[in-house]
Amino acid sequence: MTRHRPGRQFLHTPGPTHIPDRVQNAMHVKAVDFASPAFMDVAVECFEGLKPLFGLDEGEVFIYTASGHGAWEAAFVNLFEPSDTVLMPETGRFSRVWGEMGEALGLEIATVENDWRTAIEPDKVEDILRADTAHKIKAVLMVHTETATGVTSDVPAVRRAIDAAGHPALLVVDAIASWLTTELPMSDWGVDVVVGASQKGLMLPPGLSFTAVAPKALEATKQCKTFREYWSWDARLGFEQYRRFCGTAPEHMIFGLHEAIEIVAEEGLDNVFARHARLADAARLCVGEWAKGAALEFNAVVPEQRASGLTVIRVRDDLDAEDIRRTARDMFDVACGGGLALLANKVFRVGHMGDINDPMLLGALGGVESTLGYLGLPYESGLGLAAKHLAETAPRHNAPADQRTYS
């Protein structure tokens, strides 16, 4: 028999994230006939309700019963044919794996090498596109926030680079780790496709992924001859509503999605982004103090490029980041993410995205700080500085609870 541990674990991996009770309760219902109004009305509201969350003025959102990798593949097979060339600037583990998927599907992947500590360099993108006078490159694919590194790249700057080169390439953005933590109004920023998933800022369990598709990309898919069935955007726009899911609908995930959309609408997108920015600032202040002990540092070396939804902390070369992560989880009940690929054992990742508030963040930071002390690592305490920042930037309480905004 497993021995009871008092309290609960603080889940601060960068996905999955904490699921609100309202979302869990919305999913905890009996199955229904997915052709009935009881489900279809909810589903239609979800398809429409997702559009403003992507900042999509015109176009369609497609929902897949899949991880984010499924939406990656959907973008590939709806837009490109084998032997097509796409430009994918490297930013870390997930840009690399996305590129490997493209190669497996027969695409030619052009890339720009990266140190996994800095963002995409738009000037290099522009130079490559200017040199492509034959317009062989069909699209620029970029990761907005690289979950493995904690670095956020500048989407509008990449859009400007494409335009400055006078190149017709589509702009396709993986926003799996940035969606609903960081501003990304795809229509305003000239993004043609955004890939998202359910388990991070959207506050759902893993299991759904999304492609938000603007008109230019919807037109491009008409020319694409790659075979596709489950992933097909065209097939999912059929008259029969069940075709929107290409089979039996994931009813309970859709009920949860509907509730999550309501929660975001109640808070307001601007407040969602401001809350994430404020909590990220508190986390950075804390980590900055820890770093004064010379055992830890930020993986993202440029402060302006540090992500709003997670902070990736690099350890000194003679240390093992997994020791910190395991101890934080097993001794202090704070679950953080580990390092991936080239960053395995070199970093640990503290998520602060989705349904998270001040004491949840302070609890996570406190658990990690206790871990540093337990392991005898040199650090300066940053918890008080984080708490001070949150106190000074908290919403003013002379406003009703449902009208408080972050400044």
* Tens-binned pLDDT, residue by residue, of the chain (407 aa): 788 889 999 999 999 999 999 999 999 999 999 989 889 999 999 999 999 999 999 999 999 999 999 999 999 999 999 999 999 999 999 999 999 999 999 999 999 999 999 999 999 999 999 999 999 999 999 999 999 999 999 999 999 999 999 999 999 999 999 999 999 999 999 999 999 999 999 999 999 999 999 999 999 999 999 999 999 999 898 756 667 899 899 999 999 999 999 999 999 999 999 999 999 999 999 999 999 999 999 999 999 999 999 999 999 999 999 999 999 999 999 999 999 999 999 999 999 999 999 999 999 999 999 999 999 999 999 999 999 999 999 987 656 556 666 55
CB 21 within 8 A of CB 205: no
Please report the domains of the chain, with CATH numbers, ordered by start residue: 10-15+269-396 (3.90.1150.10), 31-266 (3.40.640.10)
Q: What is the largest CA-CA distance in the chain?
A: 67
Residue 196 structure tokens: 């998202």
For 308, which DSSP code?
S
Is the overall model pTM greater than 0.85, yes or no? yes
Q: What confidence score (pLDDT) does residue 404 get?
A: 61
pLDDT of amino acid 3: 86
Residue 214 confidence (pLDDT): 98
Residues 6+ apart with CB under 8 A from 309: 14, 145, 177, 178, 181, 182, 200, 201, 276, 280, 351, 352, 353
Distances (CA, A) of 244 to 204, 239, 396: 20, 9, 44
* Angle ∠(254,233,191) on CA atoms, nearest 5: 90
Q: Using the structure block, give the residue that is written with the tokens 């305490």.
A: 381
332-360 in b/e burial notation, b at 16+ Cβ within 10 A?
A: bbbbbbbbbeebeebbbbbbbbbbbebeb
d(CA 142, CA 206): 22
Please report, for residues 74, 84, 393, the alpha-carbon distance to residue 143 in angstroms, rounded to integers and kept in the order given: 16, 20, 30
Tell me what pLDDT residue 395 has: 85
Beta-bridge partners for 129: none
Pairing of strands 10-12, 334-338: parallel
Question: Among 69, 101, 71, 70, which residue's Cα sits nearest to residue 88?
Answer: 101
pLDDT reported for residue 2: 81
Let me know: does 308 contact 348? Beta carbons within 8 Å.
no
Looking at residue 400, its pLDDT comes to 59
Confidence at residue 385, expressed as pLDDT on a 0 to 100 scale: 98
- Round to whole Å and give the CA distance between 140 and 365: 37
CB atoms within 10 A of CB 406: 17
